[in-house]
Homo-oligomer: A and B are copies of this chain.
Amino acid sequence: MRRIAERVGIRAPSLYKHFPDKAAVEAGLQAQGMVRLAQDMEAAEAEIGDDPPLLVLASAYRQHALASPHLYRLTHTRPLARAALPEGLEDRAAMPLARAVHGDIDIARTFWAFAHGMVMLELDGRFPPGADLDAAWRTGCEAFAQAIRIKSRGGSA
């Protein structure tokens, strides 16, 4: 809080004239993080073209997280302060993935967990130094793409 205050040219206690406590500041930053995620995912979706959709979304997700790791952590590694979130934002951020998996909620959640896990392990420096993370991302995306194909065998073409 003191450091945030300093960046704004203010003393720490004055922050409490604008936010009730640290948690509220974090909630505001979470909202910002969700907005940026939604924007980045929508931008990625628009650029899918003929590439594998999951791989495009996954690459964008990874880049999103690595570009501002602190904000990513703040946004995604604690309970989401939904009360302080613009209405519909959470869904908006999830829609590009939901469309890519043809609305299959289990695959969506599973793929989300995969991407979040990959990102967190990378941010936390958990992979061995030489690990080929691009290959791992590719492998994961292909596995889920295959799962979608199988699941929709009886639903569409």
Contact = CB atoms under 8 A, between A and B. Distances in A.
Interface of A: 76-80, 106-107, 109-110, 112-118, 120-121, 124-127, 131-133, 135-140, 142-144, 146-147, 150
Contacts of A147: 139, 142-143, 146
A136 B120 contact: no
Contact of A117 (B115, B124, B138): B115
B106 A139 contact: yes
Given A106-B139, A114-B140, A146-B146, 20 more contacts: A76-B124, A79-B124, A79-B125, A106-B132, A109-B133, A110-B118, A110-B137, A110-B139, A110-B140, A112-B121, A113-B114, A113-B118, A113-B121, A113-B136, A114-B117, A116-B120, A117-B118, A117-B120, A120-B120, A142-B147
Nearest to A127: B109
A120 B117 CA distance: 8
Given A131-B109, A139-B106, A144-B143, A77 B118 contact: no
| Main SS at interface, chain A | helix
Contacts of A112: 117, 121
B124 A109 contact: no
Contact of A80 (B117, B118, B126, B146): B126
20 contacts: A76-B126, A77-B77, A77-B120, A77-B124, A79-B124, A80-B125, A106-B132, A106-B138, A106-B139, A107-B143, A110-B139, A110-B140, A112-B121, A113-B140, A114-B114, A114-B140, A115-B117, A117-B120, A142-B147, A146-B150
